[in-house]
Amino acid sequence: MKTTRRLMLGAAAVAAVMAASLAEPAGAAGTTPDFSGAWGAYPGPRGGPPDPKLAAPAATPLLLKAKYKAPYEELRARQIESDKRGEPLSNASTACLPTGMPGMMFAIYPIEFIQSDKQVTIIAEAMSQVRRVYLDKPQLKIEEVPPGYYGHSVGKWEGDTLVIDTVGVKETVLGNRDMPHSDQMRIQERIRLVGADVLHDQITIVDPVVLEKPYTYTNAYRRMPGYEMLEYVCENNRDYIDENGVTRMRLQSQ
């Protein structure tokens, strides 16, 4: 009798474990996908033409509300005109400031994913930027998050897709194409493998103050097997801003 009971208990335990594993978020192969490792922009500067099936789809139109549209277009025109003159305007990078969110996900230099059950950590080589996506915490109200470069990110797995919500990005941290945003911005990301070695991060900017409609674009990445991320400390910044707001390069001969 004892043996039978033990066997039954054992079988029940096995069934419970199986049920628990079935209840876990299922990826394409029935498990959570693994994004761990280093990724570079796809196709990358020496990657040749992209496979149309793997390339990032086109962005949606950027529709700013009238109050923000005019100053934004004026800024873009000034940038173009200044560049033509050979006197580029300064921006955050001129001062060695990081890109923050969502700019760091552009992966101008490689990015690295570190993944656990409770957290996905993303490191950008450029400026050694770090963001943490909590998988086991609820999102905070926007007004509870001190404005910063990366905001507060929570995520969950929906099948093969990591879905992330981010709030609390400082208004001075400009977005894609230098687009402005308000303190009400939410960044919604859907990250998934579109091929064995190509990952997409579809980014939707939702900002009822600045945008007429949410703005969606996609960053595509290629896997960089074995790549060791490099450090990046902005210690030798020769850029300076002259009295006219123009970026100049400091020379030893000066």
Binding site for other proteins (CB under 8 A): 41, 43-45, 50, 56, 58-59, 79, 82-89, 91, 93-94, 96, 99, 103, 106, 108-109, 125-127, 174-178, 217, 219-220, 230, 232-239, 247-254
Q: Name which of 179 and 209 has its Cβ closer to other proteins.
A: 179
Q: Name which of 174 and 210 has its Cβ closer to other proteins.
A: 174
Phi/psi for 124 (5° steps) reads -105, 130
Using left for φ > 0, alpha for ψ between -120 and 50, and beta otherwise, residue 137 falls in: beta
Least distance from other proteins to the Cβ atom of residue 244, Å: 12
Q: Name which of 141 and 250 has its Cβ closer to other proteins.
A: 250
Those residues whose C-beta lies under 8 Å from the C-beta of residue 130, and which sit 6 or more positions away, are 121, 122, 123, 124, 150
Q: Name which of 125 and 207 has its Cβ closer to other proteins.
A: 125
Least distance from other proteins to the Cβ atom of residue 174, Å: 7
Least distance from other proteins to the Cβ atom of residue 210, Å: 16
- Strands 152-158 and 186-195 turn out to be unpaired
Mapped onto helix, strand or coil, the DSSP state of residue 29 is coil
Least distance from other proteins to the Cβ atom of residue 13, Å: 51
Q: Name which of 145 and 229 has its Cβ closer to other proteins.
A: 229
Of 79, 49, 78, 74, residue with least CA distance to 64: 74
User: Do the Cβ atoms of 118 and 137 come closer than 8 Å?
Assistant: no
Q: Name which of 72 and 134 has its Cβ closer to other proteins.
A: 72
CA–CA dist 42, 69 (Å, integer): 31
Structure tokens at 120: 């996905």
Least distance from other proteins to the Cβ atom of residue 140, Å: 27
134-to-108, 119, 177, 231 alpha-carbon distances in Å: 24, 5, 28, 24
Least distance from other proteins to the Cβ atom of residue 143, Å: 28
